[in-house]
Copies of this chain bind each other. A is one copy, B any other.
């Protein structure tokens, strides 16, 4: 009985880690669709978000069943509650990748981004995808050193995010209000995506140490 229970806990963690990889994939594709005005890829991200929503509902149901049937305590209870939180954060990451893809679709066949802005979003995409994969790894391994890495990656994302505003506010900005509005929202989506990845890792730190790391600057 106890073994089946442990297996259920492990399965739940595997599913969450798998969700991380899926939203990493979604953000990688969404970023490419944005940079290359690739409508088909954008549609793919938009369609597959339903799958991530289902996985979240499924994970939450399993967590719920564990609470109801096993009444876990101590570390196990923290694990299950963190899984409920994590599933929510990861689903939200999927939503944010979806928003990026929707922006690419909305402007298609026009590019959303002026040419010189592309590299910043390529980098935000790269950092975001890495954060999502690392969050999955932290769920799988409970490696606290790895969890700390996410904080540094998130700092890099914040720097990129802030830099976009500097670019937009520069008198040399010649692309007008429309692209500025798009870029403001898009940069925010990437930044929030990163925040949620960090939140997932922090919950694992809490599971392992029993203490929540300090609040995320939001």
Question: Interface on A for B, CB 8 Å cutoff?
Answer: 53, 57, 64, 67-68, 71, 73-74, 77-78, 81, 84-85, 88, 95, 99, 165, 168-169, 173, 176-178, 180-181, 184-185, 188, 212, 215, 218
Contact = CB atoms under 8 A, between A and B. Distances in A.
Nearest to A78: B64
Given A68-B77, A81-B84, A177-B177, A218 B185 contact: no
A169 B165 contact: no
A3 B211 CA distance: 31
Among all A-B residue pairs, the 5 with the closest Cβ atoms: A71-B71, A184-B184, A177-B180, A181-B184, A68-B73
Dominant secondary structure of chain A at its interface with chain B: helix
A134 to B, nearest CB: 22
Contacts of A85: 84, 88
A180 B53 CA distance: 33
- Residue among A78, A176, A181 having the largest count of chain B Cβ atoms under 10 Å: A181
11 contacts: A53-B215, A64-B77, A64-B81, A71-B71, A88-B88, A168-B181, A169-B181, A173-B177, A176-B177, A177-B180, A181-B181
Contacts of A169: 177-178, 181
A218 B196 CA distance: 16
